[in-house]
Amino acid sequence: MNADTLPPARSGPWPWLRDNSAWLLMAATLALFATETLFNGPFWIMSVAGLYRACRGRRAVFEQPPVGLLGVLFLCLWLPQLAALPDAANPVHSLENTFAYPHYFFAGVYVLTSLRDPATLRRLEIAVFWIVTAWVLDALLQYAAGAD
């Protein structure tokens, strides 16, 4: 056997996972909203990935109008929370809530930058269709059975 007759090396699942991770994380978060806390797993992964994208390509990320608008809206929510911290009735609780909020912004950065890809948007639309279909069928079954 020589190099011309060798079969190509298998790349494994990594390229597929790299190409599909965005819509999979978003769909998993949506599907897991039906649970009490399991949605936090994919949501935190999106937050960390959004933070990475924001740090790696600051100019490219924040020059996008949807991300800029998200930033302004987030600051409209978060800055009053920061300003209210010194006067908080329960300072520990307020501090925990206030400093937990930025992960929502970075998850939003991840979602907005990921959905620029039409293939990701299309796959997410299909996933949302099937998730909502499953929820509706489950609700109809529960209604017909008379049990939750």
Report the chain's C-alpha Rg in angstroms. Answer: 21
| Contact predicate 63/101, CB 8 Å | no
Encoded amino acid at 112, one letter: L
Cα–Cα distance, 96 to 17 (Å, whole number): 34
Global confidence as pTM? 0.83
Give the list of residues 6+ apart from residue 84 with CB closer than 8 angstroms, or none. Answer: 94
Of 140, 128, 134, give the one whose Cα is nearest residue 27. Answer: 128
* Average pLDDT of span 114-118: 94
pLDDT of residue 18: 84
Per residue in 31-82, pLDDT (tens digit) is: 999 899 999 999 999 999 999 999 998 888 888 899 999 999 999 999 999 9
